[in-house]
Structures are given as C-alpha cells and as structure tokens.
Amino acid sequence: MINIIKINKLIRNILIVVVIIALLLAFSSSYTSFSIDNLAFVVAIGIDKSSNNDSLKVSFQIAKPSAISENGSSQDSPAIINTVEANSINSAINLMNSYIGKELNLSHCKLIVISELVAKDGISDKIYTLINNIQIRPSTNVVISKADAKYYIENSKPSLETLPSKYYQIFPNSSKYTGYTVNATIGDFFNGLTCESCEPYAILGGIVSGNNQEYVSKDLLNSGDIKSNETSISGNRGTENIGLAVFKYDKLIGELNAIETVCFSIIKNQINGFLITITDPKDNEKYLDLYLYHDRSTKTKVDLINGSPFITVNCDFNGRIYSMKNDVDYLNNEVLEEISFAASKYMEVQMENYLYKTSKIYKSDIDGFGKSVSSNFLTIDKLEKFNWEQNYENSFFKVNANVNIKSGFLLTDT
C-alpha cells in the first residue's frame, strides 16, 4: 500500500516536471519565429510607371524604429524611402527583401499611392494583388497622385505629427468636416471593381502649388472649384489631398473638384458638416459663408421611366452663418428665410451639376445608385439585360435640397 502511494507520488512529480518543461518550451521565443527586429514595416507604397513601360517602379516608405524610439535623435527622419523597378508588386517586394536585409511587412501600410499615368492604364491587377495579400488591411487608403508617387511620398512630410503613418491615418478624417477629400480605402475600391452596380473612386493627391505663386489667381480663391495641384495653399508639407479620382472599372477617367467631392460625400452620407460660400442675397458683390450639417440622412430613389433611370435625391440640412458683416439682423426670420432659400438653390444646382457630370461626362456611377435599381427587376437576367453600367448615362436627376439656416454661432445681430 505504501509502495503504491510512493509510486503515485513519483508519477505525479514526473508529470509536473514534464508539464513545466512543455510550458517553458511553448512560451520561450523560438529560433525560427520572426521577432520585430527581423521585420521592416512599410507605411506607404508608391506605384509609378518606369521608363521601360512594361515594368513598374515601386517605392516603399519604411518606418525607422531608431528614429522614433526614446534613444533616437529628433533630427533623424522617421522613415526611409527605397525604390525598385520590377514586373510586379510581389517581385518588387521580393527584391527589396533581399536588399534591405529585413523582411518587409505590410501590416502597418496605411497608404497606397498610384500615379496618374499608371491609373489611366488600368490598375485592377494591382488592386487584386494587394487585396490578395493577407497583410494589407482593407482600410488602407488609396491615393491617385497627379505627380509621381515617389515624389508624393517624399513630400508628404507631416508638420504636426512625428510619424508619417500617424499622418496617413489622420488626414482622411478631414473628409468628415470639410468634405474636400474622402476616406477612400482599398476595400472600397475592390468592392467598386467587383460590383456591377457601382464604380470605384480614390483620393486625389497632388503637389502644393501655392509655394511658387507670387500672385494668386482669382479662380483659386473660390474654394469650391479647386482640386489638388490647383490650390493657393503654401506650407511646409509639399502635398495636398483635395478632390476625388473617378474610375470607370479600373481606369482613371476624371477628377472631381472640392464642391463636387462634397456632393459625393453628401449622397454617400459620409460627411458630418461642410462649409459653403454663397452670394449674399442682399448684395450680389458680397459672399456669405454657411456651415451646413445633415438634419437627416440623404435619401435616394431610383425609378425607371420609359426605360431610363430617374434618380431622386432628397437631402435636408441645418446651417449656421459663419461670416458676419456690419449692420445685419440675423434674428429676422425674413432674412434667415432668404439665406436658407439661396443656400437650398445653391446646393440643388451644385448637386445636379455633379450628378450630371458623373452621368453624362464620366458615365461612372461612383455613388452606387445601381444598387437601388434592383427592386425594379424580378430576375438577374432582366437586370443584366438592362445593363446599368451602360444605362447610367441616360439617367435624369431631381435634387430636393432643404436648407434651414438657424442663426450665427455667437452673434445674431450686428
């Protein structure tokens, strides 16, 4: 009996030692595993056309851990940019892996910049390749650069953040309160490519041109008509992101300016508030700045009339008056109603211009109205015969914009 108890204790002790050894092996770092020291984290990828038209010039902006650590010098650039020419993105990654000495990791890639020249030739194979990569996040932003992608990345030096990855993560947020850019991700782009009822879009990026201008043309002062490469901005950072790149399937076919991008965001319900500048109803020589925000979500409806799509867009806004002048009574209901009426008409005109531009000129349904047309058909065959992609250019639009201006912010009567 005592022997049995001793044997049981022995077995128990052996088991305990075996379990401890197993746990030690499991939680110790293995010589085959990759630690953070073996990886190079790419924060941005740039794709350009090479001088040899058959290949690509791929630029990688790689974060430098030593520059952003506590021991790093504040003078060190937090990222380095390396460029390689290759037949494909994966070949470029492979070549760069052998050059750098660490394995490139795309898990923290926040931005994919594609130059305008490459985008005009079609980028479906690049997008499919990137989406197939398990490291690339669907929330990675896509920018179509009017300059070289490498030049865009080199000049995207953030002035208010230390890390470029932080800047790339933050800048699309301005779409919520200005509407001048959009949060266009590679996931949305892939959806637009595969969807038969919508088209893809991307952020339009460009070079700040205000630095070189001594005299700013009057056209650039109307902030609604501007887009990247055409603004009066001058600053430390050499790049700007204003406007939207419009695609037809995978080819870049056009660009939208600031106010058209605002209209796009309104229809997509991706904007919280935005500023418009309208002619003062009391004085045609003066302008009035109004800040509008959604009262309720924009509603769209697609009907078929004589085989042509008739699209109705209903949007409601509340607004506040930003700019103030001397001797104005904004407590007077008549004054507020006049301004509201002028703002409603302005929004209707801008939105109809935008919609007809995407329909008649670009023939590209980036707003995804095609998804709403399905209920007009019983079967897929009939919907495919209708061919929304071709029929979108025959669309007619009716925009009902209702703007209700309440007052100024702190002043109501001057």
Partner 1 sequence: MIEYFLYLENGFVNTFIIGIGNIYSFSGIIFLYLLPPLLKKPEHFKKISIISVIIFSIYIFLTVCVILFMFSFFVSKDEILPLYAAARYIEIGSFFVRLESIFLLIWILTFACYLSIVVNFSMLIFKKITNIKNVKVLAYPFSILMLAISLIPKTYADVKYYEGNIYQYIILGFAYVFCILLLIFANFKKLKEGKS
Question: Whole-number minimum distance, CB 375 to partner 1, in Å?
Answer: 4
User: CB-wise, 268 or 345, nearer to partner 1?
Assistant: 268
Asked whether position 195 contacts partner 1 by CB under 8 A, the answer is: yes
Residue carrying structure tokens 């669907």? 138
**Largest interatomic CA distance in the chain:** 109
**From edge to edge, which strands make up the β-sheet containing 308-321?**
273-280, 283-305, 308-321, 396-408
Q: Does 374 bind partner 1 (CB under 8 A)?
A: yes
- Other Cβ atoms less than 10 A from the Cβ of 373: the count is 21
CB of 320 to partner 1, least distance (A): 27
Give residues 198-237 in contact with partner 1 (rule: CB under 8 A): 198
- Complete DSSP assignment for 6-50: HHHHHHHHHHHHHHHHHHHHHHSPPTTS--GGGEEEEEEEEEEE-
Nearer to partner 1 by Cβ, of 243 and 370: the residue is 370
Sequence length of the chain is: 414
Q: Which is nearer to partner 1, 254 or 368 (CB)?
A: 368
Closest by CA to 162, choosing from 40, 72, 36, is 72
- Single out the segment in contact with partner 1 by CB under 8 A; choices: 186-194, 248-256, 268-276, 358-366: 186-194
- Single out the residue of 73, 381, 385, 390 in contact with partner 1 (rule: CB under 8 A): 381
Which residue lies nearer to partner 1 by CB, 4 or 378? 378
Nearer to partner 1, 96 or 373 (CB): 373
In angstroms, rounded to a whole number, what is the distance separating the alpha carbons of residues 187 and 189?
5
Residue 250 and residue 128: Cα distance in Å, rounded? 11
Centre a 10 Å sphere on the Cβ of residue 227 and count the other Cβ atoms it contains: 24
> Exposure of 412 by Cβ count < 10 A (0-12 exposed, 13-18 middle, 19+ buried)?
middle
Q: Which of 133, 314, 353, 372 binds partner 1 (CB under 8 A)?
A: 372
Alpha carbon distance 125, 170 (integer Å): 28
394 belongs to the binding site for partner 1 (CB under 8 A): no
Q: How many residues bind partner 1 (CB under 8 A)?
A: 23
Q: Which of 191, 400, 402, 404 binds partner 1 (CB under 8 A)?
A: 191
Helix (H) or strand (E) run with residue 392 in it: none
Q: Which range of residues in 89-97, 136-144, 151-159, 287-295 is near partner 1 by CB under 8 A? A: 136-144
CB of 169 to partner 1, least distance (A): 7
Of 76, 103, 121, 196, which lies in the binding site for partner 1, with binding defined by CB under 8 A? 196
385 lines the binding site for partner 1 (CB under 8 A): no
List 8, 194, 272, 414, residue binding partner 1 (CB under 8 A): 194
For partner 1, the binding residues in 62-101 under the rule CB under 8 A are: none
Instruction: Report residue 294 as tokens.
Output: 């959604």
Is the distance from CB of 206 to CB of 255 less than 8 angstroms? Answer: no
Please, which of residues 277-336 interact with partner 1 by CB under 8 A?
A: 301-302
Contacts of 305 (CB under 8 A, 6+ apart): 396
Is residue 160 a contact residue for partner 1 (CB under 8 A)?
no
378 binds partner 1 (CB under 8 A): yes
218 or 385: whose CB is closer to partner 1?
385
- Please report, as ranges, the residues that interact with partner 1 according to CB under 8 A: 137-139, 169, 187, 191, 194-198, 301-302, 371-372, 374-375, 377-381, 383
